[in-house]
Amino acid sequence: MATIVREYQSIDEEEVVRLVAQFRQSLGELRSQEVRLDLDSAREELRYYVKRRYPIFVAVEDGLLIGYLVCRIDEDVVWAESLYVVPSKRRRGVASALYEKAEHLVEEFGGDTVYNWVHPNNEAIIRFLLARGYNVLNLIELRRARKNEKPGKIVVGEHEFLY
């Protein structure tokens, strides 16, 4: 079962829409929110990426898409916009193979790092990035708590924040 990583093609749309919806659902769970599988919103999101010409890579195994990576490029900065691998295929190098595509884009632009937005309790992606040498905290995004949100706490330097 060799995994192939390649560029997204329009024939991949329905499978990638499903993966985007699953990714959004899993992000909601990180915030202790119940998020339904929303294929329509996922389709809009994918079409936005395509329209903006964001590089999209897919991982294929036995003819099925099992993961994807979307990169956003701002001038010469490459952001890993979203990275998702179906749970049954995790911890087998699929995310690494996808992420290497983002790192190659960085090299093409003469840079030396991919930038990542990460939810503070997304332990899986934090462990993944730390293993790849991504250990510099760059920015902190602040917002007000949402209705019915039950945030945890995190300390950065001398400051305590909710997340």
CA 136 to chain CA mean position, Å: 18
Please write the tens of the pLDDT for every residue from 70-120. 999 998 899 999 999 999 999 999 999 999 999 999 999 999 999 999 888
With a CB cutoff of 8 Å and minimum separation 6, the contacts of 4 are: 59, 60, 61
Instruction: Read off the tokens for 22.
Output: 């699953």
Predicted local distance difference test score (pLDDT) of residue 142: 86
Domain boundaries, the chain: 3-135
Say if CB 118 and CB 127 are below 8 A apart.
no
Strand 114-116, strand 77-85: pairing: parallel
Under a CB-based contact definition with an 8 Å cutoff, are residues 38 and 24 in contact?
yes
Instruction: Indicate the DSSP class of residue 87.
Output: G
Q: What confidence tens digit (pLDDT) does each residue in 11-57 have?
A: 999 999 999 999 999 988 777 777 788 999 999 999 999 999 999 99
Question: Does position 161 have pLDDT exceeding 90, yes or no?
Answer: no
pLDDT classification of 147: cutoffs 50, 70, 90: confident
Q: Which CATH class is domain 3-135?
A: alpha beta
Residues in a beta bridge with 4: 60
Q: Where are the alpha helices (DSSP H) in 52-118?
A: 94-108
State the pTM of this model.
0.88
